[in-house]
């Protein structure tokens, strides 16, 4: 499963905002590792630098010095619509007769092709195959005179997931779609403000968490401070917070819906222990996203928690491809075993999810070779039976193992002694909110808004 994107907007009078944006998107690197970019302004024109690679590969001290100004917008990307190419790197610049903006987007539109054709008919030119550029042009070319009117116009047309950072030469605007699919929060920084995809980015900047942007809300920051400029009515009273933000995407030190993600994941593990108890010697988590859940399983079950797998945190993206022999080592590039800890032990292995079922067999094989006597796999998410249409490059339905096999068949395929997936109700018990607050389409096939077709991420490629 691939991540979404990270957005950080900074308004900091008297300070160089691009440096704050750099550290903000560096804290959000887990959300996307394909490209990074920063736009900045000192109150006149907007300058942008984008490049393929990790944040620290893209920006050096000189790059940030060149991006002068007290307003900045940063973005780190994983491609969900449009290929991994420099033309699709964000923030996007869009200019009309009346305004110039830079825009960063986290999410995915389900009506991107229709909107793109509308804008082409109006004579708008496109430089990329990303749906994010569509949003930027839609807002800058909106038939409106105020930002509230522009956002209102765009929201009437946009269908899908979009948490946006928008920068003018004088303001920062944050927008969250009416379903609230992707997170977006606000923090105070000295005499300024920060808008970020996750609260962990605020912590790295020394900013104070203020609140989350509400679903359907647009907030604006300028010399007069922060104000809410638009709130789209939610007549259906249905939200679509992505539940995988709780399970996997967000960093464990971030706040979602007022709760620490680490605590929610511990609750998932504890609920798993209630639903699928087993006689075992140790509990381990697949690092890092399942560590908190493994701790929760251990505390609820009374089975000791230990580290059994060590993750190479520097495996990341590389431009050096391994030869065939190294490629065959597969999962060993990412994980290494502690065989003395697991030898002759009955082991509970907690993981966050199973998507295609291609990586898990390698982990199981690694544990078997390390001497594990029994392997009891526990997944702190229900079986994934449907793809995501709102900003997660998960897999096609035909590629999802739980869409094509029963739990018993998956257990046999993975060669584990037992397998347990957290139930839908158990997952909801573990986190704040109720069923109508979350999108659980990947587990149920029922989405908060109608999805007619399975979309190709390259649908806008020429």
Q: CA-to-CA distance for 279 and 155, rounded, in angstroms?
A: 53
pLDDT at res. 316: 54
Is the bond leading into 442 cis (omega within 30 degrees of zero)?
A: no
For tokens 């979404």, name the residue: 4
- For 351, what's the count of Cα atoms within 13 Å in the CB-facing half-sphere? 21
Q: What would the DSSP string read from start to end of 124-174?
A: ---S-S-HHHHHHHHHHT-S-SSHHHHHHHHHHH--EEEEEEEE-SS-EEE
pLDDT at res. 315: 60
Regions of the chain with pLDDT less than 50? 82, 317-321, 457
pLDDT at res. 281: 98
| Distance from chain centroid for Cα 317 | 17
Residue 233 φ/ψ, nearest 5 degrees = -60, 140
pLDDT at res. 436: 85
Q: What are the catalytic residues?
A: 5
pLDDT at res. 433: 76
pLDDT at res. 435: 79
pLDDT tens per residue, range 119-147: 999 999 999 999 999 999 999 999 999 99
What counts of helices (H) and strands (E) characterise the chain? 17, 23
- For 97, what's the count of Cα atoms within 13 Å in the CB-facing half-sphere? 5
How many residues does this entry show for the chain? 462
Q: CA-to-CA distance for 25 and 37, rounded, in angstroms?
A: 9
Report all structural domains of the chain as residue ranges with CATH numbers, in order of start. 6-235 (3.60.20.10), 255-313+323-444 (3.40.50.2020)
């Amino acid at each position: 499963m691939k991540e979404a994107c990270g957005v950080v907007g900074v308004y900091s009078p008297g300070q160089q905002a691009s440096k704050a944006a750099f550290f903000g998107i560096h804290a959000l690197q887990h959300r996307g590792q394909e490209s990074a970019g920063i736009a900045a302004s000192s109150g006149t024109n907007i300058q942008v630098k984008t490049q393929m690679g990790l944040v620290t590969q893209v920006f050096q001290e000189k790059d940030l010095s060149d991006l002068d100004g007290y307003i900045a917008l940063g973005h780190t990307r994983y491609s969900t619509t449009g290929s991994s190419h420099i033309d699709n790197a964000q923030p996007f610049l869009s200019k009309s007769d009346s305004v110039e903006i830079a825009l960063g987007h986290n999410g995915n539109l389900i009506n991107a092709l229709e909107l793109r054709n509308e804008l082409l008919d109006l004579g708008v030119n496109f430089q990329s195959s990303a749906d994010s550029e569509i949003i930027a042009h839609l807002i800058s070319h909106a038939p409106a005179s105020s930002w509230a009117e522009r956002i209102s116009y765009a929201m009437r047309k946009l269908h899908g997931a979009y948490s946006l950072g928008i920068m003018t030469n004088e303001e920062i605007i944050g927008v969250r779609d009416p379903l609230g699919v992707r997170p977006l929060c606000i923090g105070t920084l000295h005499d300024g403000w920060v808008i970020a995809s996750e609260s962990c980015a605020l912590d790295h900047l020394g900013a104070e968490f203020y609140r989350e942007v509400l679903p359907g809300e647009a907030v604006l920051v300028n010399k007069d401070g922060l104000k809410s400029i638009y709130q789209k009515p939610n007549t259906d009273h249905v939200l679509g917070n992505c539940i995988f933000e709780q399970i996997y995407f967000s960093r464990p030190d971030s706040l979602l819906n007022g709760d620490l993600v680490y605590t929610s994941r511990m609750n998932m593990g504890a609920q798993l222990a209630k639903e699928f108890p087993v006689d075992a010697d140790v509990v381990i988590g697949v690092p890092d996203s399942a560590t908190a859940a493994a701790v929760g399983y251990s505390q609820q079950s009374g089975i000791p928690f230990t580290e059994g797998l060590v993750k190479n945190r520097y495996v990341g993206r590389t431009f050096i491809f391994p030869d065939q022999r190294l490629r065959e080592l597969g999962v060993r590039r990412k994980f290494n075993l502690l065989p003395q800890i697991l030898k002759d032990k009955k082991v509970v292995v907690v993981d966050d999810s199973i998507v295609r079922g291609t990586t898990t067999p390698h982990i199981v094989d690694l544990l078997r070779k390390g001497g594990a006597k029994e392997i009891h796999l526990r997944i702190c998410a229900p079986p994934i039976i449907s793809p995501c249409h709102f900003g997660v490059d998960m897999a096609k339905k035909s590629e999802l193992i739980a869409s094509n096999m029963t739990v018993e068949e998956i257990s046999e395929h993975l060669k584990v002694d037992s397998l347990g997936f957290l139930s839908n109700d158990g997952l909801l018990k573990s986190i704040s909110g109720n069923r109508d607050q979350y999108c659980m389409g990947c587990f149920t096939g029922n989405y908060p808004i109608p999805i007619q077709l399975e979309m190709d991420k390259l649908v806008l490629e020429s």
